Structure 1
């Protein structure tokens, strides 16, 4: 079985499990051409059990949203989240990443979006693998933030939407703002 077949089956399995646990949610499909070196590093990660990443749009009892800015893109706000570790379910990844990046424990309540991404080797387009990104919704009773990750420039609670957010988050921010 090829790496593309193995990762497609794993992504399908994880999406089915998430839909069983959290109900229906949109799944977007993307394809990205990777330079050979980057592609090979992805293959190595897949061989070790990695499948993608996960994060969460977290709100508190006052319906404030917990957002972060990364050092690599400090002009945009996004959700806490990060890379899957082998053996984790995607929900475990999201909870762990929120806690590591912000110090906040989150209860996941749903999935607002998932992305199935196909990575394609730039010099050999027949070489491919799939990965999965899952963005959950979550609630917390905690208000205190403790940034615990050097990659995080800032984490903050928002009562109103910030000016600039990452593209994947725009629709979720609108939904949150409209219910306020």
Structure 2
């Protein structure tokens, strides 16, 4: 970072969830959550995104791993729960473990998230909005920059659309 510049502070305040990035005012995490997300594409190359109810930002479908899940299974389950669609995991976009990203919830949980982001393709189901989102949309990659989203989501999408030869490890 050039001298004299402040760090990139990103804070999204909402009633149920506040995301901090590189923010010295962020609360200390009290949990670590293993999570999976999925970059789901259709046969036209569009990417499935949801507008989250808890922060009104666009994001990939995903969520926390349960004791009975595998990581790819978590991605498949979360896509089904959040969008109504059935998907098949086809690859790995990367791992996302940046300790500068902290998520605080109104119930007192302050988490660091260890997210594994997968590539997936649509195989069935019916697009259905869950209680976790207000809108679902198939987005052409050329339109991703026009949507409000946390930059950690944007990073995953960037890595997915770059069609990298190896997964991102970070």
Q: Do these two structures clear the TM 0.5 threshold for a shared fold by scoring above it?
A: yes
Secondary structure, counterpart of 2:95 in structure 1: strand
Seen in structure 2, the aligned counterparts of structure 1 residues 174 and 131 have a Cα distance that, compared at 3 Å, is closer
Q: How many residues align?
A: 128
Question: Which secondary structure state, in structure 2, belongs to the residue aligned with residue 98 of structure 1?
Answer: helix
CA 1:178 to 1:116, structure 2 compared with 1: closer, same or farther past 3 Å? closer
Once the 2 structures are TM-superposed, how far is the Cα of residue 64 of structure 1 from its aligned partner?
A: 1.4
2:133 is the counterpart of 1:156: no
| Cα deviation code 1:5-33 (max 9, x no counterpart) | xxxxxxxxxxxxxxxxxxxxxxxxx9x97
- Please state if 1:55 is matched with 2:37: yes
Matched, 1:135 2:142: no
Q: Deviations over 1:26-70 (max 9, x none)?
A: xxxx9x9754xx61xx3xxx7xxxx51111010011111110011
Give 2:64's match in structure 1, choosing from 72, 77, 83. 83
Displacement over 4 Å in runs of 4+:
32-35, 174-179
What's the TM-score once normalised by structure 2's chain length?
A: 0.61
**Equivalent residue in structure 2 for 1:169, among 143, 153, 162:** 153
In 2, Cα distance between equivalents of 1:132 and 1:98: 18
CA distance in 2, matches of 1:116, 1:91: 17
**TM-superposed deviation, 1:172:** 4.6
Contact 1:161–1:173 under 8 Å retained in 2: no
Q: Residues of 2 paired with 1:178 and 1:54: CA distance?
A: 20
Give 1 or 2 for the bigger CA radius of gyration.
1
Query: Please, what is the CA RMSD of the aligned residues?
Result: 3.2
Gap runs ≥5 in structure 2: 1-21, 101-110, 164-170
1:95 equivalent to 2:113? Answer no
Indicate how the Cα distance of structure 1 residues 89 and 171 shifts in structure 2: closer, same or farther if over 3 A, else same.
same
Please state which structure has a larger fraction of its residues in helix: 1
| Residues 142, 107 of structure 1: alpha-carbon distance in 2 compared, 3 angstrom cutoff | same
Per-residue CA shift, 1:100-120, capped at 9, x if unaligned? 00011111111212123669x
Tell me the CA shift for residue 161 of structure 1: 2.1
Structure-2 residue corresponding to 1:107: 88
Write 1 or 2 for the structure with the bigger share of strand.
2
